[in-house]
Amino acid sequence: MNNTLRNRACTGTALALAVSTVLTACGGGDSASSDTRTAKDSPTARSAATVKDPLVATFDGGLYILDGESLKLTRTLALPGFNRVNPAGDDSHVIVSTDAGFRVLDAAEQNLTDITYEGAKPGHVVRHAGRTVLFTDGTGEVNVIDPADLSGGTKPEGRTYHSTEAHHGVAVELSNGELLSTLGTEEKRTGALVLDKNNKEIKRDERCPGVHGEAAAQGEAVGVGCEDGVLIYKNGEFTKVDAPDDYGRIGNQAGSDASPVLLGDYKTDPDAELERPTRISLIDTETAKLRLVDLGTSYSFRSLGRGPHGEALVLGTDGALHVIDPKTGTVEKKIPVVDTWQEPLDWQQARPTLFVRDHTAYVSEPGKRTVHAVDIESGEKITSVTLPKGTNELSGVVGH
């Protein structure tokens, strides 16, 4: 997610990876497996079969809905354009970023709903403390929704905020109602501000050049990435954690309620067309210290995730899922999942992607048109599926 990182920071559709949790699933019936429809055919119609804990994968021209346990393809929805997917925050819905804005997919019922948040360049989708926040890059609009309100089929009445200027940004609402949102313009991003429940500014910090991405750690410490480290907001105060390099860009992060340590990427070449880093960053929000770990393999912005116990997970181009102790930086195991691969130059092009729910890591392998489910703790591959086309993004429902 995803929104994004080699100079993708300037692209409006980029978004950070969010951390997810898994549930066990059971699937829909055979009748859904061959159904293909356009998004406008029947946006509010209920499908005959309901899929529990579905996954959603994008492909060139549409969406695949998969059963969360068997990975069986239960429905294909046609949806033109480059689309992105993120959990909405409940056990039924997924947010789809389209050319025209955010659309809400009822993945359990296998239909696009009428709920839309229109606006150019829909960007980051962030779930935290029972709220889901949508940031529209082209307008600077922030929409905060309670995912439980999506089940009614009508657009929820939620909190809104408009950034002073449109930019590729991100926002998150905290459990006390404070809203942290990035600061910037289309040309330059500088940091973050915090608003109270009434959208009145109470804090700001502009020590974060090129601010990009967000993740929350244990204790509700929120980190946003900078071109020279990380900016942390915790207990009403900002703290800057400097990178060891003059240019040490952290643009994508993954957090966990089970760990005070944030997982981030790490890039050091501001002039690279595409930097393929081998080091990841671990940011301890309690000590405000940053540790770099060299994995010996590169990875992409869709490679980061967190396990059920706070494990740091990185899908490497060596084809393995690297399971890392976030406190020590020790790589505890490497789980072979896919063939070796190389990150493409264009950030919108498909590459193996990681999506995590609870104890299961789902990994796509576009070149083979497959999606795999792996048990994080045992390292065993649970099941795999071959799809009609290779997929790009991979996400699913995540209930709280």
Closest-CA residue to 305 (of 394, 224, 238): 394
* Helix ranges restricted to H, the chain: none
pLDDT of residue 14: 34
pLDDT of 205 reads: 98
pLDDT averaged over consecutive 10-residue blocks of the chain (400 residues)? 36 34 28 33 48 96 97 97 97 96 98 97 98 98 97 92 98 98 98 98 98 98 98 98 98 98 98 97 98 98 98 98 98 98 96 97 98 98 98 91
Secondary structure (DSSP) of 7-26: SGGG-TT-BPPPP-------
What is the pLDDT, as a whole number, of residue 99? Answer: 93
Across the beta sheet with 253-254, the strand order is: 253-254, 261-264, 279-284, 289-294
**Other Cβ atoms within 10 Å of 198 Cβ, number:** 6
Per-residue pLDDT at 152: 86
**Rounded Cα gap, residues 149 and 158, in angstroms:** 9
List, in order, residues 6 or more apart from 86 with CB less than 8 Å away.
1, 2, 15, 18, 94, 95, 97, 125, 395
